[in-house]
A and B are shown apart, each in its own frame.
Chain A
Amino acid sequence: MDLELSESELAFQAEARSWLAANVPAQPLPSLDTPEGFALHQEWEARLAADRWSVVSWPREYHGREASLVEWVVFEEEYYRAGAPGRVSQNGIFLLAPIIFEHGTQEQQDRFLPTMATGERIWAQCWSEPEAGSDLASLKSTARRDDARGGWVLDGQKIWCSRAALAHWGFGLFRSDPEAQKHAGLTYFLFPLDAEGVTVRPIAQLDGEAGFAEVFFDDVFVPDADVLGAPGDGWRVAMSTAGNERGLSLRSPGRFTAAADRLLSLYAERPDPRVADRVVDAWLRAEAYRLYTWGTVTKLKDGGDIGAAGSVNKVWWSELDVALHETALDLLGPDAELESRWLDGYTFALSGPIYAGTNEIQRNIVAERILGLPREPKGAQR
């Protein structure tokens, strides 16, 4: 048992650290949910990609550097420690790309991955529907077969689509077989958000920015080439992304350890003994998350599976993120209500316990799949 990095991992870390020190913008970029901030974040993605730092774990042919899982975590730690911008391409890179690598055809990989890596094409996640949030199996939006044109016709509505207000393409599940049972008969589609029949209506969030949108589909044609995985197999295909999102990949510990470091600096500037214990707890929870992640990395290296432990992980980081920012706001006192990086971080953190499957859903998964508790009887939930 050890936490030592190998010589090559240390060299990778040093290279990442010096590149970030030389390239991270001196001033934080404007919110990526504003048009100007979105464009500046796209430029940042391009700069990352130019030196192969945008998708370090990907193959070289798609702008990656074939970094190992350990190196990926090391890079993320360095990235956030350096105060680098949030990733506008996050949905594509972390949620869609693993699916394209696993289920996409060679043609799809060649067509979609390069522009995702460079930030030229930003992807929006179109999962939820008004009647289906965490309960994705009750999706109602439909895909109708159109043999004459060699594709499908989409109808319906998606909501809470992250980045959709400004993004270029979306990905989501549609019900392609109305006769099939809940989880069957769903198909995974990729579609341009400016296609004929698509209407994107931005939704302002708590912070006033349109971080998500509702997307309406009115006879939108999607060719077979843009179906990911086999028709009707969308649930199984999508579940591998849900696992990624809840587990390791979306929330590397670097973000939280960096925020904990900033919290400690804030405390050093304006110490308040009444908040001291919470500062300690926020740091401690971030440190626990950092170490827990190395345990997860070891399990994955050994060929293991995250499985339901991804739900344990998701509850922890999402509540940690809120606690870190709440504590900072309490240290700021009356200045806490003024617009600031901490306040932005706080409003962003508030969404954590809600998205990617609410924390209530995650706790049910922990209880049923890890503790082995009985499922709630049918009809009890609704």
Chain B
Amino acid sequence: MRFELTTDQRDFAASLDALLAASDTVAVARAWAEGEHAPGLALWARLAEQGVTMLATEATPVEVCIAFEALGRHAVPGPWVESAAYLATELAGSAQEAIASGTVATVAVPPHTPYALDADVAERVYAAGRDGVRTATPGEPHVSVDRTRRLFSVAPGPVHDTADRSQEAFDLAVLATAAQLLGAGERVLADAVTYVKQRKQFGREIGSYQAIKHRLADVRIALDFARPLVHGAALDPAPRAVSAAKVACADAAYLASRTGLQVHGAIGYTQEFDLSIWITKIRALVTAWGTPAFHRARILDSLVGSHG
């Protein structure tokens, strides 16, 4: 029993974090939102060089979670869950190899993920159905609350060769989304803590007021208890464990975003302030890849079924 990241895993997390911290990901995300995809695609290529796109096939779900937590912490835009988690698992043969080597792809997996994220940027677009994954043609884009997420309706084409692993692919996508939420929540908390130590009202830092302290402590506590559910699910990505991770991370990250906004006050409510990038992303990811209601229902079915 050793329920902690290994030294190698910590090193991997630290090196990804360092790479992303040096990549001005806020500027990348803002450009992506404006339809300027070149910096984001360049970052995609760099992350592919670091192996992020092949983790689903070459490593374990623990490494996948480490990578997606970093992507969330740095608000990296693009169809990462779709490519590096779902399609990397569901596709077979050369299509899978293409994803692993850095081809940007996206997929719609109705009913939980009815739109294909960033289909205008992806080299390959797919739609999942009962009979596997088909190549698809993007239709109309829809505007997301997260300006870095452009969502497309898709028209399915011919059936593609698949690995027939749609359940595993869905669960890994859910888990990756949970890890991304965890990273985003951690970032909002860290920024909120920095801010309340600087911002003064009534002659002292607002972070010295107990009301502020208690709200931020609750965020710390929620994130601390969401993380083991992510790692537990990564060790055994069964549907119930994966859903538990998604519910806990969605709740904790959403609490972080609401609290982060509240302690920042009006400045946090502006699009110009970088916090907005994470607040809107968290809101989008809470319902992406299965709503909290869906995942709670899935957990309950699993639990009461085993108790009946």
Contacts and interface: CB of A to CB of B under 8 A. Distances in A.
Contacts of B212: 373
Interface string A279-290: 111011101110
Given A292-B224, A294-B228, A283 B303 contact: yes
B145 interface: no
Contact of A288 (B1, B218, B248): B248
Given A2-B3, A291-B232, A376 B208 contact: yes
A281 B225 CA distance: 13
A70 B1 CA distance: 8
Nearest to A288: B225
A309 B248 CA distance: 19
A276 B214 contact: no
Interface in B202-222: 204-205, 207-210, 212-214, 216-218, 220-221
Contact of A264 (B6, B210, B304): B304
B307 interface: yes
A333 interface: no
A366 interface: yes
A3 interface: yes
A285 B3 contact: no
Contact of B3 (A261, A298, A362, A371): A298
Given A2-B235, A265-B307, A363 B2 contact: no
Q: Assign chain B's interface to a size class.
A: 35 or more
Q: Assign chain A's interface to a size class.
A: 35 or more
Given A284-B229, A297-B1, A316-B221, A364 B296 contact: no
Interface in A356-382: 360, 362-364, 366-368, 370-377, 380
Contacts of A179: none
Q: Which residue among A271, A284, A312 has the maximum number of chain B CB atoms within 10 Å of its CB?
A: A284
A147 interface: no
A291 B209 contact: no
A370 B193 CA distance: 11
A289 B226 CA distance: 10
B231 A1 contact: yes
A316 B4 contact: no
A367 B216 contact: yes
A289 B225 contact: yes
A295 B224 CA distance: 11
A207 interface: no
A148 interface: no
Main secondary structure, interface of A, reads helix
Interface string B264-308: 000000000000000000000000000001001101100110011
B217 A371 contact: yes
Interface in B150-194: 189, 193
Contacts of B16: none
B34 to A, nearest CB: 34
A332 B296 CA distance: 21
Interface stretch (A4-12, A59-67, A230-238): A4-12
A295 B4 contact: yes
Contacts of B196: 373
Given A1-B62, A316-B221, 20 more contacts: A3-B1, A6-B1, A9-B1, A267-B304, A268-B308, A271-B304, A277-B293, A277-B296, A280-B300, A284-B248, A288-B229, A289-B225, A292-B224, A295-B4, A295-B231, A362-B217, A363-B218, A364-B217, A366-B220, A374-B208
17 contacts: A1-B231, A1-B235, A2-B235, A265-B307, A268-B304, A268-B308, A276-B297, A292-B224, A294-B1, A295-B3, A315-B217, A371-B216, A373-B212, A374-B197, A374-B208, A376-B209, A376-B210
